[in-house]
Structure 1
Amino acid sequence: MATDAHGWVEVYDPDDRCWDAVVVATQFMERDYALFDTWFAGRSTAATTAFAARGLPDDISPHVAAEVKEWGSVERPTWVRWDECQFQPLLDVAALPGWNVLFALMATLSDAYQPQPVRLVIWFDQ
């Protein structure tokens, strides 16, 4: 059975002291099981993956929380801040143009809203 990634990029708003959903990340996250497993344990239960088993953030944006609620149940939810993921290697970047765009968007948002954090909230379906 195929596994796909879904999620959002959020930016922290220091004035409101909350996260805002700013980019639908789903459209950029091509199916790449090696990346899913290495970064997020998307299809495995390996505890050694970089950003697995964090669950959904406690302070998730209302928009993303509503989307997760619509799903009813999500598989292996987790999140990663841009300052964490920018140092993790993409496995085969040439084969992952959507992920490259997503990370470029996160980098641009991080530069524009510095020093506010930018994060990717991600979950999987099966």
Structure 2
Amino acid sequence: MGADIHGFIECRVTYGTIDEEDSSWDAAIDLSLLYNGNSYDAFGCLFGVRNYSGFRPLAEGRGLPPDVTEEVRGYYEDDPYLYHSASWIGWEELAAVDWDEPNLPVDARVHEYRITRVERMTRREALSQDGRWAPVWATMKALADVHGPEYVRLVVWFDN
């Protein structure tokens, strides 16, 4: 049985506010509008879910943010028996990631090459910057450019 990712990009609107502390988080866009893949390497690298490639997860098991929007909480709590492994990661954290950091063990899965070799995967390979995750990163970056990197986050959960 496969695992699928669900979630939202949330943004704390600061543009045009007098006091940033008075602003609240908004559910900016449903993740399904930007990403519809099923990459266990990415899930493991980011959130420790199906971490077959052995990365040190960036944001494992954080749960929903305490100030998550009611809209996002509603989607997650819609089926408490189906959804699991809620977590989140901010754009500020993602922007600081060493994308060339390798996974911890040698990737023991079989890969097809013209020659036989073992390798260590990097975060860049698990989360291609120009592949399926590109629309997610571009949206988060655009929001961060307007509102600040500390005010943009990806909130996710998984199903089986």
2:49–2:85 CA contact under 8 A, matched in 1: yes
How far apart are 1:87 and its partner, in Å? 3.0
Give matches, 1:1-126, under 5 Å: 1-13=1-13, 14=20, 16-27=22-33, 28-44=35-51, 48-73=56-81, 74-88=83-97, 89=99, 90-92=124-126, 93=128, 97-114=131-148, 117-126=151-160
2:11–2:153 CA contact under 8 A, matched in 1: yes
| Structure 1 segments of 4+ aligned residues over 6 angstroms from their partners | none
* TM-score normalized by the length of structure 1: 0.85
1:80–1:119 CA contact under 8 A, matched in 2: yes
Flag structure 2 segments of 5+ consecutive residues without an equivalent: 14-19, 100-123
2:92–2:149 CA contact under 8 A, matched in 1: no
From the two aligned structures, give the one with the greater strand fraction. 1
How far apart are 1:103 and its partner, in Å? 0.5
How far apart are 1:44 and its partner, in Å? 4.3
Flag structure 1 segments of 5+ consecutive residues without an equivalent: none
Percent sequence identity is: 28
Q: Count residues with an aligned counterpart.
A: 125
Higher Rg of the two aligned structures: 2
Cα displacement string for residues 36-74 of structure 1 (whole angstroms, at most 9, x for unaligned residues): 111111224979311101111111011101111213242
* TM-score normalized by the length of structure 2: 0.69
CA RMSD of aligned residues (A): 2.4
How far apart are 1:75 and its partner, in Å? 1.3
Please tell me the residue identity of whatever aligns with 2:91: W
Go from structure 1 to structure 2 and tell me whether the alpha carbon gap of 1:16 and 1:42 turns closer, same or farther (over 3 Å shift): same
